[in-house]
Amino acid sequence: MTARFDAIVIGAGPAGAEAAIAAARHGRRVAVLDEQPAAGGQVWRAPVGGFAGKGDADHRAGDDLRERLAASPATTQFGRRVWSVVGPGLGRDTGFRVDALGPDGNESLEAPALVVATGAHERVTPFPGWTLPGVIGLAAATVLLKSHGAAPGARVVVAGCGPLLAVVAAGLVAAGVEIAAIVDRAARRDWAMRLPALLGRPSLALRGAMLAGRARLAGAPFFAAHGVRRAEGEEAVRRVVIGPVDAQGAPIAGQERAFDCDALVVGHGLTTACEVTRLMRAEHRYDRLRGGWMPVVDQAFRTTVEGLYAVGDGAGVRGQIMASLAGRRAGLAIAAGQGADVAQECARIDRALVRAAPFSDAMASLMAQRPAEVAAIAAGTVVCRCEDVTRGEIDAAITDGARDIDQLKHFTRCGMGPCQGRSCSDAAEELMAAALNVSRETVGRWTGRPPLRPVALGEMIGAFDYADIPIPTPAPL
């Protein structure tokens, strides 16, 4: 059976939850789906499995969002993995149909409006040893800490870039983990240059400084303008070698240092999770400073496809504050489209978005992909970990004539595995663009296709009896 709503929201992070609350407050029938067991998204993940949570500011903000969503008339459906969306021009004349797998199998929903609030993916620029057990993402470590109260190891190297570096280092220290080293790709001047923008939100800047200070006070050695050269170990990571990098992230001559450890937590920023808007063939553009590919949206976060909205990190990585505001703005636009008077509230949000932008953009730019870091990937290093495709194989495919990212996939199977290119596309596209000396737009993106998430065929089809399958009459010869 198909349930019908005025609007469907995919993702109950800050962006999606606010969109649902705003639209539902004005009488719209809204359904919000998320594959997690509760709202909050990545930044405000709810604790699970008996872990009570840390009771810190993020935990309290998440509880507040969860309470407001629960009190709103929006229908919430958690534990639902959205794997298929059809919309205008793609299987339908108007409106959207969303299919999600939940505890009782597949569920279908329909609505004239769809808000995509699917957040971001973590970027790890490949280096030798990055696929060893014990190497995990910075963002992934926040999930371990927030949802499960678990640490990735007992002696850990924390490396990469952006604000998550301090968040994770402080979280690990609080969990009693020994930090072998903190390795920041950014130089001190990178932070200094962004200071005016960061001081525009003094409370957040202070919080970041306190988190960074907590790890330093615990005695963790700190290396600015450094990157991971390689992770070493037989069965799992046992040693991490770091060295200096230039302003573009490329390795430069200088002292290498090695640290024994049982885990490496490393991340090089976030990329937009825009699979649904790509699947819907909305227009996208590439913006390196905001997480790469993103749907083109107007002031109310409408994409170029009628009825399709995109908000939060999935429409450009800009952090929680911008995500919450964008979600609210899109929810109000849906309400306005159906008659509600929301002009004053929209104007207030538009002003708040302008005020919040410098801080968000400064943070996002620290996490942006640095092409020289990608160019430094060694020939033998695996880029696509699902299909074990190395940089050397990508280069060879380009030499053999691959001219866009789809051709690269055909030549090498890069991006063809269960993650559907979520972890390798950013590096693979960049390698191609550099080798061919063309723009990222020219290299293009892999075509969005269902399933959006890996799903077992049996889960989609459900239980059936072979005898019930109708056998078509043979065509006349």
Ligand X SMILES: Cc1cc2nc3c(=O)[nH]c(=O)nc-3n(C[C@H](O)[C@H](O)[C@H](O)COP(=O)(O)OP(=O)(O)OC[C@H]3O[C@@H](n4cnc5c(N)ncnc54)[C@H](O)[C@@H]3O)c2cc1C
**Residues found near ligand X in the complex (CB under 6 A):** 10-16, 33-36, 41-43, 80-82, 117-122, 139-140, 142-143, 164, 167, 270, 273, 312-314, 319-320, 323, 452-453
Other beta carbons less than 10 A from residue 107's beta carbon? 19
Alpha carbon separation from 76 to 31, 55, 71 (Å, rounded): 6, 24, 11
Amino acid (1-letter code) at residue 297: V
Residue 397: CB minimum distance to ligand X, A: 29
Q: Name the H helices within 244-390.
A: 275-279, 319-337, 343-366, 371-375
Question: Considering beta carbons, is residue 25 or 123 the nearer one to ligand X?
Answer: 123
Residue 146: CB minimum distance to ligand X, A: 7
Residue 170: CB minimum distance to ligand X, A: 11
Spatial separation of the C-alpha atoms in residues 292 and 274, rounded to whole Å: 10
Residue 34: CB minimum distance to ligand X, A: 4
**DSSP per position, 370-407:** -HHHHHT--TTSEEETTTTEEHHHHHHHHHTT--SHHH
Question: Considering beta carbons, is residue 35 or 393 the nearer one to ligand X?
Answer: 35
Burial of 70 (0-12, 13-18, 19+ CB in 10 A): exposed
Question: Considering beta carbons, is residue 326 or 443 the nearer one to ligand X?
Answer: 326
Spatial separation of the C-alpha atoms in residues 477 and 364, rounded to whole Å: 63
Residue 323: CB minimum distance to ligand X, A: 4
Question: Considering beta carbons, is residue 269 or 415 the nearer one to ligand X?
Answer: 269
Q: Which helix (H) or strand (E) holds 83?
A: strand 81-88
Residue 198: CB minimum distance to ligand X, A: 14
Contacts of 329 (CB under 8 A, 6+ apart): 22, 299, 300, 301, 311, 346, 349, 350, 353
CB 14 within 8 Å of CB 323: yes
Question: Considering beta carbons, is residue 126 or 314 the nearer one to ligand X?
Answer: 314
Question: Considering beta carbons, is residue 164 or 368 the nearer one to ligand X?
Answer: 164
Residue 451: CB minimum distance to ligand X, A: 9
Question: Considering beta carbons, is residue 35 or 107 the nearer one to ligand X?
Answer: 35
CB 160 within 8 Å of CB 185: yes
Question: Considering beta carbons, is residue 97 or 238 the nearer one to ligand X?
Answer: 97
Residue 363: CB minimum distance to ligand X, A: 9
